[in-house]
Amino acid sequence: MKLPFKIIALLIILSLTGVFIYQAYWLVSFYHTTSRQTDTNIENAIKNADHIELFMRADRLSTKENKQRVTGVKADVHGEVSYSTSFKKGEVNKTSHIVIKKTMRRDNAIYENERILQGNNLVNDSINIGKDQNSMEAMLRQMQQGLHSAIDINVEGINLHDFDSIMNVELKKYNLNIHHYTQIVNTKTHKVQASSLPAYMDKKKLKMYELKYDVMGAHAYQVYTEPTDGMILKQMTGILLTSFIILVILSFSFWYLIKTILMQKTVDEMKSDFTNNITHELKTPIAITYAATDALLNFNIIDNKNKREKYLRICMEQLQRLSGLVEQILSMSMEQRKTFRLNPETIQMKELADNLIEQHKIKADKPVSFTLSVEPEELTINADRAHTYNILSNLLDNAVKYSPDKADVSIFIEDEGNELSVKVTDKGIGIAPEKQTHIFDKFYRVPTGNLHNVKGFGLGLFYVRTLTEKMGGSIEVKSALGKGSTFILKLPQHENN
């Protein structure tokens, strides 16, 4: 079952649209996934930088105060875990000193802060964290927040320069080459306690990541980075370029497919028209010849010399016409065969042209005038005689057919060194510029306006171009509406000429 062309075209367009939509959806999804991963990497870089900076200060404190940093982890049979970190100079007798304990709950965790004072001096400061831990990451993060409570009051706050330097290193580990600026803020009062963000920078144009680093969530890092959209798109350059190339190839393929279907549809219509036309054209000379021979046989015309010659001439003309039609069809069939071969021989161009002119004068159904110029007169060419004859015959036939009332045709043949040039010029109706690129196409016929009696099948010029190219030559046309046309045929000259 053959589907209508409109349905085929619609299915192709729907398929292509579906591919485009799916590809766009996949690219958008990939972009969002990459964006989320980038955000996660930046957040991890902040956590890692905080961790490293924190322990750098802890080690500095141990060296400066000659205190030992002690970190302990305890677990019981119920799965509860506790961590403790403290800085001690030695053992402390807690019964003779003031002990201050503070218990807090946050995120299902218990934080116990113990401070031991001897007079006005802080002797011991530690924090214990207890929680049923199922996640090592959360466990370590809570431990890190607990360390902040112990360390931040013993050291001169966070070293922002160290943090930013460490942050740069951590970002590079994730292949993130982006600028960043850091602020330390009090989340309760929104007061900025330290900042590496230049005053002229507009925060609205930057992307902010926040990390609350202490137990109570009262203090946080606010890291500002340049927008990551451009960086992500740059990372996706290869995928985007590949997708674009695939879409272009698919679009071209679908376009070429539709074009081929349209061309095939047009060719089918032309073939149908050709079949109808050639059937009519073949029947006409057969019918006329049959009528003439019937008259000769059945109406005693054979004894009348004048009528006999008249009817025999009619038969001869119609058989010549029929022979020409069959020759064109056979020639078109032969040139498509792989076994097609040319039979070159030496041809006298003036002699060939004179014979063609005489034949076209006899067959013309209108007044016709030919002008022939061959330079030099003895000019010869080594080519296939039959096809060279048919090529020139087609050009002369068109020049006569497309001249309205009287045909005035000029033929100029000259030697151009390596080429033989043949120019056939008429003063006929001419060809519109937009039609000139199609006149050599198979089955194509130029609309003839008021010349409704011009017969043809759209094979003549196609045959001319095809055989000319097989002979190694070229054919072109120069024409203007109402001013006539000039067909320029060029065939290669061989050394034996």
Half-sphere exposure of 437 (CA within 13 A, CB side): 2
For the segment 376-403, the average pLDDT, to the nearest whole number, is 88
Global confidence as pTM: 0.47
Same domain, yes or no: 385 and 407: yes
For the segment 106-130, the average pLDDT, to the nearest whole number, is 51
Q: How many helices (H) and strands (E) does the chain have?
A: 10, 16
Same domain, yes or no: 251 and 362: no
With a cut of 70, say whether residue 17 has pLDDT above it: yes
Last residue of a domain, one of 179, 200, 232: 232
Same domain, yes or no: 457 and 397: yes
Residue 105 lies inside a defined structural domain of this protein:
yes
Distance CA 282, CA 324 (A): 10
What pLDDT is stored for residue 262 in this prediction? 81
Residue 337 lies inside a defined structural domain of this protein:
no
Axis crossing angle, helix 305-334 with helix 460-470, rounded to the nearest 10: 50
Same domain, yes or no: 137 and 23: yes
With a cut of 60, say whether residue 297 has pLDDT above it: yes
Domain range for 308 = 238-332
Same domain, yes or no: 365 and 319: no
What pLDDT is stored for residue 19 in this prediction? 86
What pLDDT is stored for residue 486 in this prediction? 94
What pLDDT is stored for residue 95 in this prediction? 44
Q: Where are the alpha helices (DSSP H) in 156-304?
A: 160-173, 229-235, 237-298
Distance CA 433, CA 99 (A): 105
How open is the CA angle 172-203-42, to the nearest 5 degrees?
25
Domain count, the chain: 3
> 11 versus 324: which is more confidently predicted?
11
Closest C-alpha to 160, from 46, 38, 40: 46
What pLDDT is stored for residue 69 in this prediction? 55
Distance CA 249, CA 253 (A): 6
What tokens does 265 get?
Answer: 């549809």
| Sign of the torsion formed by the C-alpha atoms of 142, 144, 150 and 156 | negative
Q: Where does the pLDDT of residue 43 fall: very low under 50, low under 70, confident under 90, or very high at 90 and above? A: very high
With a cut of 80, say whether residue 402 has pLDDT above it: yes
> 194 versus 122: which is more confidently predicted?
194
What pLDDT is stored for residue 207 in this prediction? 92
Same domain, yes or no: 96 and 216: yes
What pLDDT is stored for residue 33 in this prediction? 92
- In this structure, what CATH number is given to the domain that contains residue 483? 3.30.565.10
With a cut of 60, say whether residue 276 has pLDDT above it: yes
Same domain, yes or no: 358 and 485: yes
Same domain, yes or no: 179 and 132: yes
Residue 95 lies inside a defined structural domain of this protein:
yes
Same domain, yes or no: 407 and 476: yes
With a cut of 70, say whether residue 46 has pLDDT above it: yes
Last residue of a domain, one of 332, 367, 382: 332
What tokens does 172 get?
Answer: 């590079």
Provide CB contacts within 8 A for 352, sequence distance 6+: 385, 388, 389, 392
With a cut of 90, say whether residue 403 has pLDDT above it: no
For the segment 39-46, the average pLDDT, to the nearest whole number, is 92
Residue 497 lies inside a defined structural domain of this protein:
no
Q: What is the pLDDT of residues 128-169, one digit of tens each?
A: 545 444 445 666 677 777 777 667 765 557 888 889 999 999
What tokens does 471 get?
Answer: 């002979």
Q: Measured between alpha carbons, how far is residue 10 from residues 248, 258, 264 in Å? A: 19, 10, 17
Q: Where does the pLDDT of residue 374 fall: very low under 50, low under 70, confident under 90, or very high at 90 and above? A: very high
How open is the CA angle 67-69-71, to the nearest 5 degrees?
155
Distance CA 490, CA 417 (A): 11
Same domain, yes or no: 90 and 225: yes
Residue 338 lies inside a defined structural domain of this protein:
no
493: three-class secondary structure by DSSP: coil
Taking only Cα atoms into account, the Rg of the chain, rounded to an integer number of angstroms, comes to 49
Q: What is the pLDDT of residues 341-372, one digit of tens each?
A: 778 899 999 999 998 888 788 777 788 899 99
Chain mean pLDDT for the chain? 78
Last residue of a domain, one of 169, 199, 232: 232
Q: Where do the DSSP E strands lie in 89-206?
A: 98-106, 109-118, 121-132, 180-186, 191-195
8 A C-beta contact, residue 261 and residue 8 = yes
Q: What is the pLDDT of residues 72-99, one digit of tens each?
A: 555 454 555 455 555 555 544 444 444 4
With a cut of 50, say whether residue 100 has pLDDT above it: no
- In this structure, what CATH number is given to the domain that contains residue 286? 1.10.287.130
Same domain, yes or no: 79 and 19: yes
With a cut of 70, say whether residue 181 has pLDDT above it: yes
Distance CA 177, CA 308 (A): 103
8 A C-beta contact, residue 162 and residue 44 = no
Q: Measured between alpha carbons, how far is residue 345 from residues 331, 342, 348 in Å? A: 19, 10, 10
Percent of the chain with pLDDT over 70: 73
What pLDDT is stored for residue 160 in this prediction? 87
Same domain, yes or no: 326 and 200: no
Residue 185 lies inside a defined structural domain of this protein:
yes
8 A C-beta contact, residue 89 and residue 102 = no
Residue 36 lies inside a defined structural domain of this protein:
yes
Q: What is the pLDDT of residues 416-444, one digit of tens each?
A: 888 999 999 999 888 888 888 888 887 77
Residue 226 lies inside a defined structural domain of this protein:
yes
For the segment 384-401, the average pLDDT, to the nearest whole number, is 87
